[in-house]
A and B are shown apart, each in its own frame.
Chain A
């Protein structure tokens, strides 16, 4: 071992003993250097092979994406008109301001000067201090590659602001005003629930919607027709492309245009026009008729087709403030309003009260339980079951002996308790189903409520004490757990008015192209023909006639002097209590219903007035319905009382 080491040392000593004086002594160094310089060239060549041969297509595509700037051409959203062709939702020009940092900041300008100019711009645009701070930060700390992309400052500035910015353009290099289009509702809060509103899709929705071509900044319908007909109103956006340089500037020289190869622009297709069945004049009448009530709804319908002539819910809102960016104040205002302006009350379900009695009446006659002339005695109450539990008539003094027509006219509760008990819960439910209750009508907007038709089975499941016989009595007069929507009631009374045809509701008359060519006309849709005897329907109609025109009728006081009208009142108790409406908290007051159709023999309009916690069906809702009918015939149909008298053969008293 020792020897070996020494030997090695001698050997190495010998090796370095040579003194190198000539380049020839550096042969080893040269050999190493030859190899050393060649290696990086080999690796770099492989790198170029990888980039240019192996990944060629990938990088060609990246280069293409770099110089091609695709631009989405937004499609004009379809307009919505009423039946008379008046625009109820249209598009108006709007102006947005944006700023390009590269052009705004002047060379040699100090930061203070830039900030000062931003402040001046902000003053014209009345930006909040928060917005100013954000904008200043964006301008001063822009990344080099974003220098040439415009930063949005404010959307939808006023015409005055446009003028001010433009006259000061010399101070505001790089500030650009672009014209876009914005949704506009000329009738403001009229029929707002029906028409709905639009606003921008949020980031979360965008993830779901971008497969349908939605992009950031696109709007979508949020309510009513705007929402239900979104795919039809939206149209489809077009796509154009241009060649740009790294600064985003369009290149128009022939060589650059040649780079587009076989690119073809896609033209946008404008959204379709939706023509509603409603008449905005009638809508104004409906809104006006509701003026004295906090919350409620009116549905006016053509009983011969199920077409909705007018539909209103109160309180209402202004879709113009909801479209686009809603201010926090406005949001708070509607969120804290106890009457919930954003709910469409015409499509929500409530206790119907006495307006429901027609179901019980039809069942009574159709099941053969009573004949039209059979009477039952009303002492003002009915003692039910072995406990002789008293169910009161609304008229405590009683109606005496009443037949079915009179009991409808006077809205005698006891008559219906008695027949209801005999008919039973499930028979009543069956007839309610005939009229489409307990199911959605299919109007297709605003998340319509199906209402509720209670049955024995339903009670067994949902009532704490299971089904009780007394429930049948409550149900027979539209109390208990029964719930219906004003729209369902309009269809039900339409069927009574037109002789037994139950329609689907119709809110859209037709769809047209943006140029006005007809595309699709909605046909009249019959839901069912009610298989009832003519005598049954006649008896019901007579009862509804009596409501208005007989002295015992609950709405006798509100009859029109020149028009023969049928009606039914309903005062639905919300809680079981025995005190007057004025004395209790609003939310415990009765719901007021008043349903009417006219003229009685050849009805052309059904009006359902529903006032949530509005008090009495006759004294609160009656005048509202009569005002609607009166103004409908005189202002919309342009019929003078004389003409009506002539046509209907009805002579004013």
Chain B
């Protein structure tokens, strides 16, 4: 098997996934536009930086990731996974600390967040695990143990940073991939019970501020750290948006600083306040179409690895959109999950461009080797 297809593709124009590109540009465009309205309050034109990240992401990450035949990923999956875990260990040792959490490695030009890349590494790893096994039955628990044990490693490392949100996110992405492959009903029930049994352990390992976030979300106690104040203001921002919103740069909740991190975790709050219900539904529709399109890419994939890969990437986008949106409307605790391509951030944007590249890769090659 050739690793890199030198055979010209059927036709660039017909095999290229124009809709995928269009959706990604539309969403990223909204994200940049949204950041532009925040330039005043943030005192810096983050939309320009974000645009730069998008450009870098497309040229240096999305295009290469789409060009290299994705079956190479299958071969190097284990290596990527191990490298990713090493990076996570490294970050615990030499990582830069912001807000009491070690998540970043200083690469000189920018701070890299290994946990962002770990999501993709996990997806490739799980896809390879399933595609290489010719399993005749739904998976039982014992046959899944090696996989679960392997995934537990990055989850634990990320949990230690501490970054509860991303750790849970990786668990959710992997679970979705495993369930897609199919497990026995008994195994499913057993896993749920096991999870419930282990939850108190995780609770004990959590930092006080994380516990407080969960507690205040569940409204078990009054908010001592101001998290709830932030989320309540986010809800006010959303509600104040009304049907059509306040317009560009007119969001009082965000522009007057009542909503925290409006460029990052709460970017959607600004969008919702400035463009209202119409704007939110438009953006959520774009995400839903993107996700459904990605599932379609998986369905049309040329092989099982490509399919699992596409399903995993879909899971990344899906869970991030759902968790972030739920967080903004106070349906989920504040766990620091960004809104794909809309929230500001280099690591987040670049990893998302890798995801897009991989999706494109699978999509373009759907017709080859048939």
* Interface residues, chain A, with chain B CB atoms under 8 Å away: 16-23, 26, 29-30, 33-34, 37-38, 40-41, 44-45, 47-49, 51-53, 55-56, 58-60, 62-64, 66-67, 143-145, 243-247, 251, 255-256, 259
Which chain A residues lie closer than 8 Å to B229 at the CB level?
A: 144-145
CB–CB B329/A23 < 8 A: no
Contacts A18-B136, A37-B295 given; does A63 touch B226 at CB 8 Å = no
Beyond A23-B307, A29-B181, 20 additional contacts (C-beta under 8 Å) are: A19-B136, A20-B135, A22-B303, A23-B300, A29-B182, A33-B180, A33-B314, A45-B281, A47-B331, A48-B277, A48-B284, A51-B238, A52-B272, A52-B280, A62-B236, A63-B237, A63-B239, A66-B256, A143-B225, A143-B226
Partner of B304, one of A20, A62, A143: A20
Asked whether B347 is an interface residue with its Cβ less than 8 Å from the other chain, the reply is: no
Which chain A residues lie closer than 8 Å to B325 at the CB level?
A: 44
CB–CB A23/B252 < 8 A: no
Asked whether B241 is an interface residue with its Cβ less than 8 Å from the other chain, the reply is: yes
Q: What is the distance, in angstroms, from B348's C-beta to the closest C-beta of chain A?
A: 21
CB–CB B318/A37 < 8 A: yes
CB–CB A30/B295 < 8 A: yes
Which chain B residues lie closer than 8 Å to A251 at the CB level?
A: 256
Which chain A residues lie closer than 8 Å to B291 at the CB level?
A: 37
Chain A residue at minimum C-beta to C-beta distance from B240: A63
CB–CB A34/B295 < 8 A: yes
Tell me, in angstroms, the Cα distance from A549 to B136 when the chains sit together. 135
Chain A residue at minimum C-beta to C-beta distance from B307: A23
Asked whether B35 is an interface residue with its Cβ less than 8 Å from the other chain, the reply is: no
Partner of A29, one of B180, B233, B257: B180
Report whether over half of chain A's contact residues are helix, strand or loop; otherwise say mixed.
helix
11 residue pairs of the A-B complex, CB under 8 angstroms, read: A22-B304, A33-B314, A37-B288, A37-B291, A44-B325, A48-B238, A63-B240, A67-B252, A243-B256, A247-B257, A251-B256
Which chain A residues lie closer than 8 Å to B257 at the CB level?
A: 245-247
Which chain B residues lie closer than 8 Å to A33 at the CB level?
A: 176, 180, 295, 311, 314
Which chain B residues lie closer than 8 Å to A29 at the CB level?
A: 180-182
CB–CB B322/A23 < 8 A: no
CB–CB A60/B256 < 8 A: no
Which chain B residues lie closer than 8 Å to A23 at the CB level?
A: 298-301, 303-304, 306-307
Tell me, in angstroms, the Cα distance from A251 to B236 when the chains sit together. 20
Q: Digitize B242-254: 1 where CB-to-A-CB distance is under 8 Å, 0 elsewhere.
A: 1100000010110
Tell me, in angstroms, the Cα distance from A18 to B276 when the chains sit together. 50
| Residue of A23, A47, A52 ringed by the most chain B CB atoms within 10 A | A52
Which chain A residues lie closer than 8 Å to B233 at the CB level?
A: 66, 246
Tell me, in angstroms, the Cα distance from A500 to B280 when the chains sit together. 88
Q: What is the distance, in angstroms, from B131's C-beta to the closest C-beta of chain A?
A: 9
Chain B residue at minimum C-beta to C-beta distance from A56: B242
Which chain A residues lie closer than 8 Å to B235 at the CB level?
A: 51, 59
Partner of B307, one of A16, A26, A143: A26
Which chain B residues lie closer than 8 Å to A145 at the CB level?
A: 226, 229
Tell me, in angstroms, the Cα distance from A243 to B257 when the chains sit together. 12
CB–CB A55/B239 < 8 A: yes
CB–CB A48/B258 < 8 A: no
The 6 closest A-B pairs by CB, nearest first: A59-B239, A246-B257, A63-B240, A144-B226, A52-B277, A23-B307
Tell me, in angstroms, the Cα distance from A20 to B329 when the chains sit together. 41
Chain A residue at minimum C-beta to C-beta distance from B41: A245
Tell me, in angstroms, the Cα distance from A251 to B325 when the chains sit together. 30
Partner of B252, one of A19, A26, A53, A259: A259
Q: State which size class the interface on B falls in.
A: 35 or more
CB–CB B311/A52 < 8 A: no
Tell me, in angstroms, the Cα distance from A143 to B303 when the chains sit together. 56
CB–CB A52/B182 < 8 A: no
Contacts A20-B304, A44-B284 given; does A246 touch B256 at CB 8 Å = yes
Which chain B residues lie closer than 8 Å to A62 at the CB level?
A: 236, 239-240
Q: What is the distance, in angstroms, from A9's C-beta to the closest C-beta of chain B?
A: 13
Tell me, in angstroms, the Cα distance from A55 to B330 when the chains sit together. 15
Tell me, in angstroms, the Cα distance from A58 to B242 when the chains sit together. 10
Asked whether B224 is an interface residue with its Cβ less than 8 Å from the other chain, the reply is: yes
Which chain A residues lie closer than 8 Å to B192 at the CB level?
A: none
Which chain A residues lie closer than 8 Å to B298 at the CB level?
A: 23, 30
Asked whether B152 is an interface residue with its Cβ less than 8 Å from the other chain, the reply is: no
Tell me, in angstroms, the Cα distance from A60 to B241 when the chains sit together. 8
Which chain A residues lie closer than 8 Å to B199 at the CB level?
A: none
Which chain A residues lie closer than 8 Å to B208 at the CB level?
A: none
Which chain B residues lie closer than 8 Å to A67 at the CB level?
A: 252-253, 256, 258
Which chain B residues lie closer than 8 Å to A246 at the CB level?
A: 233, 256-258
Which chain A residues lie closer than 8 Å to B256 at the CB level?
A: 66-67, 243-246, 251, 256
CB–CB A59/B240 < 8 A: yes
Tell me, in angstroms, the Cα distance from A244 to B240 when the chains sit together. 17
Tell me, in angstroms, the Cα distance from A40 to B321 when the chains sit together. 10
CB–CB B258/A66 < 8 A: yes
Which chain B residues lie closer than 8 Å to A17 at the CB level?
A: 136
CB–CB B288/A63 < 8 A: no
Chain B residue at minimum C-beta to C-beta distance from A52: B277
Partner of B276, one of A37, A40, A52, A255: A52
Partner of A47, one of B240, B252, B258, B329: B329
Chain B residue at minimum C-beta to C-beta distance from A22: B304
Which chain A residues lie closer than 8 Å to B182 at the CB level?
A: 29
Tell me, in angstroms, the Cα distance from A41 to B311 when the chains sit together. 18
Partner of A53, one of B242, B311, B314, B322: B242
Which chain A residues lie closer than 8 Å to B306 at the CB level?
A: 23
Which chain A residues lie closer than 8 Å to B331 at the CB level?
A: 44, 47
Tell me, in angstroms, the Cα distance from A37 to B295 when the chains sit together. 10
Q: What is the distance, in angstroms, from B224's C-beta to the closest C-beta of chain A?
A: 7
Q: What is the distance, in angstroms, from A136's C-beta to the closest C-beta of chain B?
A: 19
Chain B 274-329 residues near chain A, CB threshold 8 A: 276-277, 280-281, 284, 287-288, 291-292, 295, 298-301, 303-304, 306-307, 311, 314, 318, 322, 325-326, 329
Tell me, in angstroms, the Cα distance from A246 to B232 when the chains sit together. 13
Q: What is the distance, in angstroms, from B286's C-beta to the closest C-beta of chain A?
A: 11
Chain B residue at minimum C-beta to C-beta distance from A28: B182
Which chain B residues lie closer than 8 Å to A45 at the CB level?
A: 281, 284
Chain A residue at minimum C-beta to C-beta distance from B258: A246
Q: What is the distance, in angstroms, from A40's C-beta to the closest C-beta of chain B?
A: 5
CB–CB B281/A48 < 8 A: yes
Which chain A residues lie closer than 8 Å to B281 at the CB level?
A: 45, 48
